[in-house]
Each structure stands twice: as C-alpha cells, then as structure tokens.
Amino acid sequence: MDNPNFYHIRVNGHLDDSWAEWFDGLSISNQENGDALLSGLIQDQTALHGILNRISNLGLTLISLEAVREEDQIEKKEHNSESKDFS
C-alpha cells in the first residue's frame, strides 16, 4: 500500500470526539442506531492494524471496515453539496 486510503470503520457504541486523536485523527460520527463511524485517511496497513488494535483494546465491537475509493468520496461530496437546501 503506497498511498493512503480512505476508510469507514463502524463500531458498536458511541465515542466522544476527544477519541479522534487516539484514532490518528479519524473523524468520529455517532449514528442514531448507537454505532460510531470512524472515517478518514489511513496511511498504510501498519496504521490500519494499529487502529484495529486500539478498537480491540477498548473492548469495542467492530461491525464493519470499508475501504472507500477516492472517486466515490469525490462523487459523494459533489452530491451532498448539490442536494443541500438553502431555503
């Protein structure tokens, strides 16, 4: 893995934003269903394993791990900016 990849990591349970630094700056988004979504660029496989180890050490349940292609992120951002209602 030469380039950082964007990931979505879903865990069971909400996390306070103060944990973002401990998870290498990943953004934390608490979901209505009780899950937390950690999102952001992860430099390489070693960094990914470190984050997964932290999740395990906290006793959190890993629900899903998804590598998101850069093109999908760009399309999502464009779609979100177009669909905002400013009325």
Q: What is the pLDDT tens value at each position of the chain, 87 positions in all? A: 457 799 999 999 999 988 888 898 899 999 999 999 999 999 999 999 999 999 999 999 999 999 997 655 544 544 444 444 444
Number of domains observed in the structure of the chain: 1
Secondary structure of residue 53 in the 3-state scheme: helix
Which structural domain range is residue 38 located in?
5-82
Q: Looking at the domain assignment, is residue 87 inside a domain?
A: no
Distance, C-alpha 51 to centroid of its chain: 11
pTM attached to this predicted model: 0.77
What is the overall mean pLDDT for the chain? 83
- Count CA atoms closer than 13 A to 65's CA, side-chain side: 11
User: What CATH number should be reported for the domain holding residue 35?
Assistant: 3.30.70
Q: Looking at the domain assignment, is residue 10 inside a domain?
A: yes
Q: Residue 44 belongs to what H/E stretch?
A: none
Q: Looking at the domain assignment, is residue 35 inside a domain?
A: yes
Give 45-66 pLDDT, tens digit per residue. Answer: 999 999 999 999 999 999 999 9
Q: Which of 1, 18, 14, 12 is nearest to 67 (CA)?
A: 1
CA distances from 27 to 32, 53, 83, 85 (A): 16, 18, 22, 24
Q: Looking at the domain assignment, is residue 42 inside a domain?
A: yes
